[in-house]
Amino acid sequence: MIRACFRSFVMFISIAIGFMLAGGASSAVAQSSLQTTYTKQTLTLDAANAMLAAAVVKSTELGVLSVVAVYDEGEILKAVATMDGARYTGIQFALDKAWTAARRQAPTQDLADNFATLPESALIGFLKQPRMTLLGGGLPVIVNGQVVGGIGSSGGTIPQDTEVAKAGLAAIGQ
| pLDDT tens per residue across all 174 residues of the chain | 555 544 555 455 555 565 555 555 545 555 678 889 888 889 999 999 999 999 999 999 999 999 999 999 999 999 999 999 999 999 999 999 999 999 999 999 999 999 889 888 888 888 888 899 999 999 999 999 999 999 999 999 999 999 999 999 999 998
Pairing mode of beta strands 138-143, 67-72: unpaired
End-to-end CA distance of the chain: 67
- State the CATH class of domain 45-170: alpha beta
DSSP state for residue 121 in the 8-state scheme: H
Instruction: Choose among 142, 133, 147, 45: nearest CA to 90.
Output: 133
The number of beta carbons lying within 10 Å of the beta carbon of residue 168 is: 32
